[in-house]
Amino acid sequence: MLLQQSEKYVGIPWKAHGRTMDGLDCYGLVLLFYKEVYGIDLPDFDYAPTGTAVQAAAIYKSIHSSAQAVPVNEDNPGDILLLTYHGEASHIAIDVGAGYILHAARGIGVCITGLATQDGICSIASRIKGRYKWQTQ
C-alpha cells in the first residue's frame, strides 16, 4: 500500500531546500510525505545549507529526540531511515516496504530504490545508521 502511494512522488526533481511538488531535497520529501500520508507536521530545518553537516546534524538530532528508534534490520513501512556515507550523516529516506525506500537524490530527483541496490561499493541497506518511527504513525 505505502509503496503504491509513494509512486506519485517519483520523478519530482531534486531541488535544494525544495518543499513542494515542484522540487524536493531529501528532507523536503520526508516533510511532504509525512504531511500528506500521515497528517504529521515534522520540524523543518530550511535555514541550514542543504547537504551540509549542519543540516544533517540538526535533522538527525530532531528525529533521534522526537521519534522512537526501532531495530535497523526491521522492514517497517513508513519508518524514516537515516543513512551515512563514509561514516558521516548524509541522507534521509522513507521505508516504503517490500525492501524499497523513497528518497530524493541529488542529480536524480525522487526515486524508489531497493535496499539491496549497490551505491558505490556498498548496498543502501548497509548505509542505514538509524530507523525511526513517529509515535502517531
Is residue 56 predicted with pLDDT exceeding 90? no
CATH number at residue 50: 3.90.1720.10
> Is a pLDDT exceeding 90 seen at residue 17?
no
Q: What is the pLDDT of residue 137?
A: 47
Measured distance CA(21)–CA(118) in Å, rounded: 27
> Is the entire prediction scored with pTM above 0.95?
no
Q: In the predicted model, is pLDDT for residue 58 greater than 60?
A: yes
pLDDT digits (tens, 9 = 90+) for 66-112: 788 888 888 889 999 988 877 777 889 999 999 999 999 888 999 99
Q: Which grid coordinates belong to 21?
A: 511538488
Total tally of structural domains belonging to the chain: 1
What's the domain range around 52? 2-133
d(CA 123, CA 5): 24
User: Is the pLDDT score of 135 beyond 90?
Assistant: no
- Those residues whose C-beta lies under 8 Å from the C-beta of residue 61, and which sit 6 or more positions away, are none
Q: pLDDT above 70 covers what percent of the chain?
A: 87
